[in-house]
């Protein structure tokens, strides 16, 4: 079991059904895939890949990679893009620096995955359900919404930030805490 998309299987399905494959790689960029460049990197077949610079890159903004035709359509027809101020140069600089740094962070990525695996194992040994996680995002399924909130507050008082994820983000009765490890770039910077 895994909590990541099987991109080559999706590419094959899209080809078989003549469908457009749209991939949201927000949680993979910086962490998964060749050179940490996401699950869709270096792999042809996805028609549209979106990602964010606001997570592992530690900056702000997002991107769409697509054909020139779709790019022109989005630039001319996408209201959220047309009516929003362009990113400031300082943010563009931070994004460029993050993109240059990410391929060099293989040891940090290994450390991140090892930390997540250790956390999962220890939670499981305590009898907790960590769902299908095999990535840097480790859920702890509680079920009850109130209990999840109380545990999140208790952990925060004890120095651990684990956000409570509740319906409608997840199915009713499957409220959970979500543990995320520090982004690799920050670990190195410190
Ligand atoms: C965070 C996130 C986004 C949005 O990214 P922003 O740049 O914060 O708007 C999109 N898709 C997924 C899966 C995300 O987790």
- Domain tally, the chain: 2
pLDDT 10s digits, 133-150:
888 899 999 999 999 999
Residue from 25, 28, 52 whose mutation best tests the ligand 1 pocket (most atoms within 8 A of CB): 52
Backbone angles phi, psi at 5, to 5 degrees: -75, 145
Query: Ligand 1 centroid to 52 CA: how many Å?
Result: 6
Domain boundaries, position 127: 106-189
Residues 174/185, Cβ–Cβ less than 8 Å = no
Q: Report d(CA 38, CA 26) in Å as an integer.
A: 8
| pLDDT band at residue 1 using 50, 70 and 90 as cut-offs | low
The DSSP string of 80-136 is: HHHTSPPPPHHHHHHHHHHHHHGGG-HHHHHHHHHHHHHHHHHHHHTT-B-TT--SS
Task: Give bridge partners of residue 163 from the DSSP assignment.
Answer: 178
Helix (H) or strand (E) holding 79: helix 79-82
pTM of the model: 0.81
CATH of the domain at 113: 3.90.1150.10
Residue 80 has pLDDT above 50, yes or no: yes
Residues 71, 57: one domain?
Answer: yes
19: CATH: 3.40.640.10
Instruction: Give φ, ψ of 125 to 5 degrees.
Output: -65, -25
Neighbours of 164 (CB within 10 A): 20
Q: How far is the centre of ligand 1, averaged over its atoms, from the C-alpha of 26 (Å)?
A: 6
Nearest residue CA, atom 15 of ligand 1?
26
pLDDT band at 184 (very low <50, low <70, confident <90, very high): very low
How close is the Cα of 13 to the center of ligand 1, in Å?
A: 25
Q: What is the pLDDT of residue 42?
A: 85
Residue 61 clears pLDDT 70, i.e. is over it: yes
Tell me, yes or no, whether 49 and 118 share the same domain.
no
**What is the mean predicted confidence (pLDDT) over 106-116?**
92
User: Ligand 1: distance of its center to the CA of 125 in Å?
Assistant: 32
Token output for 185: 């770039």
Do 117 and 88 share a structural domain? no
Asked whether residue 2 is assigned to any structural domain, the reply reads: no
């Amino acid at each position: 079991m895994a909590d990541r998309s099987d991109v080559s299987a999706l590419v094959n399905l899209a080809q078989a059904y003549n469908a457009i494959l749209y991939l949201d790689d927000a949680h993979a960029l910086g962490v998964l895939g060749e050179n940490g460049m996401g699950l869709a990197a270096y792999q042809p077949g996805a028609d549209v890949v979106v990602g964010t610079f606001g997570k592992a890159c530690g900056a702000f903004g997002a991107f769409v990679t697509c054909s020139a035709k779709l790019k022109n359509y989005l630039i001319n027809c996408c209201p959220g893009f047309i009516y929003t101020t362009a990113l400031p140069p300082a943010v563009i600089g931070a994004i460029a620096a993050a993109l240059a740094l990410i391929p060099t962070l293989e040891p940090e990525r290994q450390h991140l995955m090892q930390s997540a695996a250790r956390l999962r194992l220890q939670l499981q040994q305590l009898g907790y359900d960590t769902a299908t996680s095999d990535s840097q995002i480790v859920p702890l399924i509680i079920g009850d919404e109130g209990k999840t909130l109380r545990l999140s507050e208790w952990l925060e008082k004890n120095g651990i930030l684990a956000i409570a994820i509740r319906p409608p983000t997840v199915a009713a009765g499957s409220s959970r805490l979500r543990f995320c490890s520090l982004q690799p770039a920050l670990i190195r910077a410190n």
